């Protein structure tokens, strides 16, 4: 996790050197490159709007998923079975074409004396989704962070998503979705845990 944090911090340093004004100029150049006139009425404010949107799309670079999980609860009467959260919306962008990735994530962990607020599970998905991603990496980042931060006995993460880099361009298979799974701890060691989890999420 340290290497990942170091890479993110280095990216943030580089980002700080580029102003909003510089980024707006870059988008104006792109608008001209595609054959449009960035000075026409409908496009004059577009670079500013794109900058604002990009700040939202990629806010995960300025967030720490482990900090999201800092607050846990131990007064749960020794609950030690699965905690499953299904159908968490995933909205990300692929790192190859910067096209949207839209789908759902299912997250499950087995507590080890402490649990975390339910909204925090969705927040971890959000933090990693709001970065340029591959679905495989996104799935693993969520799982490894939950396992480490919660000292969980096991973690399972599934993402089912459509990639607009292949639904709107290239091969253009608009109904295709991709499913990725990642298991840690008891879910990797014991297939009975995997089977229960997959039954819960309807896979």
Active site amino acids: 94-97, 135, 163, 165
Beta bridge partners of 72: 116
Torsion of CA 185, 125, 181, 200, to 10 degrees: 80
- Rounded to whole angstroms, what are the CA distances from 138 to 33, 83, 125, 175, 188? 32, 20, 8, 21, 18
Three-state secondary-structure class, residue 130: coil
Cα separation of 135 and 88, whole Å? 15
- Residue 201: which of 80, 78, 76, 105 has the closest Cα? 105
């Amino acid at each position: 996790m340290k290497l990942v944090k170091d890479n993110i911090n280095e990216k943030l340093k580089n980002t700080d050197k580029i102003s909003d004004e510089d980024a707006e100029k870059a988008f104006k150049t792109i608008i001209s490159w595609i054959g449009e006139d960035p000075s026409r009425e409908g496009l004059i404010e577009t670079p500013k709007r794109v900058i604002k949107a990009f700040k939202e799309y990629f806010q995960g670079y300025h967030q720490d998923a482990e900090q999201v999980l800092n607050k846990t609860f131990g007064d749960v009467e020794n609950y030690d079975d699965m905690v499953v959260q299904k159908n968490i919306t995933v909205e990300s962008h692929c790192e190859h074409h910067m096209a949207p990735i839209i789908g759902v994530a299912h997250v499950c962990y087995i507590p080890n004396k402490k649990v975390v607020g339910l909204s925090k599970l969705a927040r971890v998905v959000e933090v990693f989704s709001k970065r340029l991603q591959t679905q495989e990496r996104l799935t693993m980042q969520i799982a490894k962070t939950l396992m480490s931060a919660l000292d969980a006995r096991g973690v399972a993460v599934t993402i089912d998503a459509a990639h607009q880099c292949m639904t709107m361009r290239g091969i253009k298979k608009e109904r295709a979705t991709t499913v990725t799974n990642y298991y840690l701890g008891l879910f990797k060691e014991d297939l009975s845990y995997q089977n229960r989890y997959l039954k819960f999420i309807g896979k």
